[in-house]
Each structure stands twice: as C-alpha cells, then as structure tokens.
Amino acid sequence: MTNHDASAAVERLYNTYPFPPEPLLDEPPPGYNWRWNWLAAYSFCTGQKPIQQDIRILDAGCGTGVGTEYLVHLNPEASVVGIDLSAGALDVAKERCRRSGADRVQFHHLSLYDVEQLEGEFDLINCVGVLHHLPDPIRGIQALAGKLAPGGLMHIFVYAELGRWEIQLMQKAIALLQGDKRGDYQDGVKVGRMLFESLPENNRIVKREKERWSWENQRDANFADMYVHPQEIDYNIETLFELIDASGLEFIGFSNPSYWQLERLVGKNEELLERAKGLNSREIYRLIELLDPEVSHYEFFLGRTPLVKADWSTDEELLGAIPERNPCMDGWPSKSLFNCDYQIISLSEDELEFLQACDANSEQQRTVGQILMDGKLGLEGVRSLLKQQLILLTPG
Ligand SMILES: C[S@@+](CC[C@H](N)C(=O)[O-])C[C@H]1O[C@@H](n2cnc3c(N)ncnc32)[C@H](O)[C@@H]1O
C-alpha cells in the first residue's frame, strides 16, 4: 500500500467506526486525566507551576473528541484546536463539545502531516493513539514538533509491541480470512467475533482478550480499532527512541512512571540492582520491558527548549517557594483520597494540615517556610508531597 492509500484506509476505518465511541453528555465529563491538565502536566515535567495559563493546546488526531473535551474543561483559560483525518469522527467531536459547553475549541479536518497550515504555535500538543496509525510516524512527529512553542510540552501515546503480541496475531488471522474483503471493516469485525466464539476457551489469544480487553471490546468500534486496523506500527524501546530522537525534542519522561521502576521487579536482589547501575536510562527501560512484557503502550512527555526545571534540591529554594494544592485529586478534603492517578492514598495529620494551608494560598501567597512554621510537617514531607504530585510549587 502507498502512504496515500494507507491514510485513505485509516480515514475510512474511522468514518465507519468513529473512535472512541464514548457516549455524549450534556455536562462536563467526570473526573480528570492529569496529563490533560496544564498545571499538573507542566509541574510533573518541570517541577514548577507554569507562569501562563492562557495557553494554546492542540489535540492532534482528536477522534470523537473525548480528550479534546477534557482539555477544554480542565484548562479554563486555554484555547484548544482539534484536528483529525476523519470527517465522521470530527462531526461527533463537535457535537460532543457543543453538548457539554466546551466552547473554547475549534476543529479542522486536517492530517498531522499538514499541521503547518494551522496558524501559530502551541504550548501543549496532545497526540494520543495516533502516530502509530500513520504510515510515516517520523514525518508526523516532525510536523507536530514544528508547531510546538519554545518551552512547550508534547504528550504522546503509542502502542508497544510486547503486550500486543496476541493482538497482532489476531489481526493477521482476520486479514487472511477476509482475503479480498480486506478494507471492509464491518466484515472484519464479523470475522473476528466469529473467531473468538470458535476458538477453544484455553486458547492463548482468547485468554488474553478475556483478561485484558474484552470489556472495552464489547463495542464494535473498539473491536475494529484493535483487530481490524489497516495501518499500525507497534514499538519497542529501541524503535520508540528512534521516533523520539527524530522529533528533535527532549524526552522528559514517561507519564506512567510507576511502571518504569526496576526496583518493582528485582528490588529484592542487591546484586542485580548494582549490575543495572552500569546501564544507561534507555537500557534500563529496555530491561524493564523485557522483564515485564505486559506493556501495551508507551505514554510520555517531550519538550522544546528552553524548559526551565526546578528540582528543589536546596532547602533555601524550597522554603521560599509558594505552594498550591494540585487540582487533580478526588475526595478532597479528607485524609483518605484519590491521587492524580486515582489511587487511594492516606494522608498523615501533618500532610492534611499542610494541604489545607495550600488551599488558602492562591490568595495568601505564603511560602513553604511560612506555612511550615505553623505546622509539624518538615521539608522532607513537602518533598514527598511534591513527588506524589499533590502540590504545585512556584519559585519565590
Ligand atoms: C485511535 S483514534 C484516537 C482518538 C483520540 N486521540 C483518543 O485518544 O481518544 C486515532 C485517530 O487518529 C486519526 N488519525 C489517523 N491518522 C491521522 C492523520 N494522519 N492525521 C490526523 N488524524 C489522524 C484517526 O482518524 C482517529 O480519529
């Protein structure tokens, strides 16, 4: 297939099955994804709260606008642009945003490849589940990088091959059985569903589908997106970093950092940890995915220089910083709440007291040092709150 034909096939898939097929609501969507909240994302990437909030955001390959709608509602001063190859998906995205009152958004029927046609640059570019469906992802990421403002951030999600092995097998099996009906996506879904019904229960592909994907795949749009896709490139750490390096941007870090901890896997063995110290960060990532091949996607932030980072390593800097509570938490105010990743956490009395003082701080502008004088939390406690993404800091 030529690149042009591949893009046309992708467009037809998403016109047939706009994705994601989430229902439309008459109110803002519930909860948050901190990666779409500029304050939380910027703080994660740089250690400090951004100065500006009236930013421009691009949702590149926005599909039916589920992420776009969150980007509008979670960033009340931002203006958002969504682009997509599929006119059918864009129609749903427009209606979704109209119904929930997300009005600071514009949509354009445009390929990532042609993104330079948009006016100006963007402070945050979100590109989730898209680059791996381009016949030339490097050209796509380079086009996006050209629209990222200096000091801006890009959030990307692409597929990982190790945890999608069974999916790849099923995709190939469906294609073989479809023969010259390939490209008829409804027929592909029918063949795939028949296969899952026919295969023995203890079959490896069936087991994986049941344990990991079947809940979301009840909807045909999800099933088609997974098993009947005409264009998909799955990455491993080595090929992922080829893509990242080609972007010319800085790799800031994975946005699901808990997966990328070697201690989680071999932490009980000092000698293995010691040996791993000789590896560079990419080799460590590779080691982690080899040892835990469940990984089915990579999600990460890239940045364009100059990105000023604060590590708060000196006590003086930290004492002079102005703290606020991270808006991405659920169940506040309480000692038991959901953190930005919706994990339940328990706060100590001292942590709760510090966060309550932070809450009043958008007006009072007290420093960490001033707040600590009134409570029992120490500087290490403040560092721990920052690491857990519970507070945002502005340099004093
Ligand atoms: C799996 S969906 C992801 C939608 C959305 N980003 C999300 O995560 O909910 C992939 C989307 O990328 C779009 N897409 C694929 N290739 C594209 C391209 N070259 N330019 C713009 N959009 C593209 C598809 O039309 C589809 O809507």
Map out the domains of the chain as residue ranges. 3-161+234-303, 162-227, 315-394
DSSP 154-218: EEEEEEBSGGGHHHHHHHHHHHHHHGGGTT-HHHHHHHHHHHHHHS-TT-HHHHHIIIIITTGGG
CATH number of 3-161+234-303: 3.40.50.150
pLDDT grade for 214, boundaries at 50, 70 and 90: very high
Distance 127 CA to ligand 1 centre (A): 8
What span, in angstroms and rounded, lies between the C-alpha atoms of 234 and 240?
A: 9
Three-point CA angle 278, 283, 285, nearest 5°: 120
The residue whose C-alpha atom lies closest to atom 27 belonging to ligand 1 is 63
**How far, in Å, is the centroid of ligand 1 from the Cα of 352?**
41
pLDDT at residue number 337 = 97
pLDDT value for 270: 98
Distance (angstroms) between ligand 1 centre and the Cα of 33 equals 19
Q: Average pLDDT of 184-188? A: 98
Residue 74 C-alpha to ligand 1 middle, in angstroms? 21
Q: For residue 83, which atom of ligand 1 is closest to its CA?
A: 21
CB 159 within 8 A of CB 271: no
Q: Is the CB of 129 under 6 A from ligand 1?
A: yes
What is the mean predicted confidence (pLDDT) over 56-79? 98
Beta strands 250-254 and 148-159, pairing class: unpaired
pLDDT digits (tens, 9 = 90+) for 273-307: 999 999 999 999 999 999 999 999 999 999 999 99
pLDDT(1) > 90: no
Q: Please name every residue paired with 126 in a beta bridge, in sequence order, or none if there are none.
A: 59, 155
Mean pLDDT of 216-237: 98
Average the pLDDT over 15-24 and give the result: 98
225 lines ligand 1 (CB under 6 A): yes
Beta bridge partners of 302: 154, 251
Angstrom distances, CA of residue 260 to CA of 182, 219, 234, 256, 363 = 38, 31, 19, 8, 38
pTM of the predicted model as reported, rounded to 2 decimal places: 0.97
Is the CB of 382 within 6 Å of ligand 1?
no
The pLDDT-based confidence of 151 (bands split at 50, 70, 90) is: very high
pLDDT 10s digits, 341-383 = 999 999 999 999 999 999 988 789 999 999 999 999 999 999 9
pLDDT number for residue 362: 79
Which SS3 state, helix, strand or coil, does residue 144 take? Answer: helix
84 C-alpha to center of ligand 1: Å?
6
CB-ligand 1 contact for 61 (6 Å cutoff): yes
Predicted confidence at residue 363, as pLDDT, reads 85
Pocket test for ligand 1, best of 85, 128, 130 (most atoms within 8 A of CB): 130
